[in-house]
Amino acid sequence: AQKVTQAQTEISVVEKEDVTLDCVYETRDTTYYLFWYKQPPSGELVFLIRRNSFDEQNEISGRYSWNFQKSTSSFNFTITASQVVDSAVYFCALSERTSGTYKYIFGTGTRLKVLA
Amino acid sequence: DTGVSQDPRHKITKRGQNVTFRCDPISEHNRLYWYRQTLGQGPEFLTYFQNEAQLEKSRLLSDRFSAERPKGSFSTLEIQRTEQGDSAMYLCASSLPGRGTEAFFGQGTRLTVV
């Protein structure tokens, strides 16, 4: 069965610290997609990144980087030199083809608080 | 604004009343999803449309819930005889066709049943 686990419920860091948000997933499919979304206090889920199961290259986008490891079924997200504006709830999600649809299965989220 | 639009943003209703929410997806997106999010949880899948066809419904979607997407454009989610347990954020998302395309979410409708 599909499952996404974000074991860290809440993390607090001081501005400029680096922080890593963990995501572990379960799937029986060989083809699947992983996502990270940010949910600021306004409530809208903002898409950050997509990774498919055949591409294990890590990705960097500005202060954000993602580490995808199929061997440990993990897709971790690191924010370098965190800023107060990074404060939000971050969700990891998994999508695979079940019943002909590509629905997204979300983890429970990690609330990140960046303190000035 | 070309994002996903949801209306209303907030809805307070008395238990037993019916409510209807509307979602306008990004215009070229043929896939549309409804999710429900309760406090401290991640979004939970409710239902999925490809164009006007409703292809999947979650077991979370009881008989009191119905969703439509006439003509494959906007979608509505209706909850009949609301219960306090229906209080949640209802999120709509849309995506392009294809495997594993990212979904874009609206700002949600927060429902409070009193």
Q: From the first residue on, what is the mean pLDDT of each consecutive set of 10 residues in chain A (116 residues)?
A: 93 97 94 94 91 88 94 96 97 82 90 96
Partner-chain contact B48 A103, CB within 8 Å: yes
Contact B99 A31 (CB under 8 A): yes
- pLDDT of B114 reads 97
Nearest residue in A to B91, CA atom: A44
Spatial contact of B14 and B2, defined as CB atoms under 8 Å apart:
no
Condensed to tens digits (0 to 9), the pLDDT of residues B79-104 reads 999 999 999 999 999 999 887 789 99
Per-residue model confidence (pLDDT) at position A97: 72
Alpha-carbon distance values, B99 to A27, A69, A88, B33 (Å): 16, 21, 28, 15
> CA of A94 to nearest chain B CA: how many angstroms apart?
9
Helix%, strand%, coil% for chain A, nearest 5 = 5, 55, 40
Element (H, E) at B24: strand B19-24
User: A106 touching B, CB under 8 A?
Assistant: yes
A50 close contact with B: CB closer than 8 A: yes
Cβ neighbors of A42 (< 8 A, separation 6 or more) are B107
The chain B residues in contact with chain A (CB within 8 A) are 31, 33, 40-45, 48, 50, 55-56, 89, 91, 93, 95, 99-108, 110
How high does pLDDT run on average in chain B? 94
**What local confidence, expressed as pLDDT, does residue B60 receive?**
83
* Minimum CA–CA partner of A109 in chain B: B42
- A31–B contact, CB cutoff 8 A: yes
Query: Higher confidence at residue B74 or residue B72?
Result: B74
Percent of chain B with pLDDT over 90: 82
pLDDT digits (tens, 9 = 90+) for B6-63: 999 999 999 999 999 999 999 989 999 999 999 989 999 999 999 999 988 998 888 9
| pLDDT of res. A59 | 87
- C-alpha B41 chain-centroid distance: 16
Chain A interface disruption, residue of B102, B107, B110, most A CBs within 10 A = B102
How many whole angstroms separate alpha carbon B114 and alpha carbon A36?
Answer: 34
Those of residues 67-96 in A touching chain B at CB distance below 8 A are: 91, 93, 95
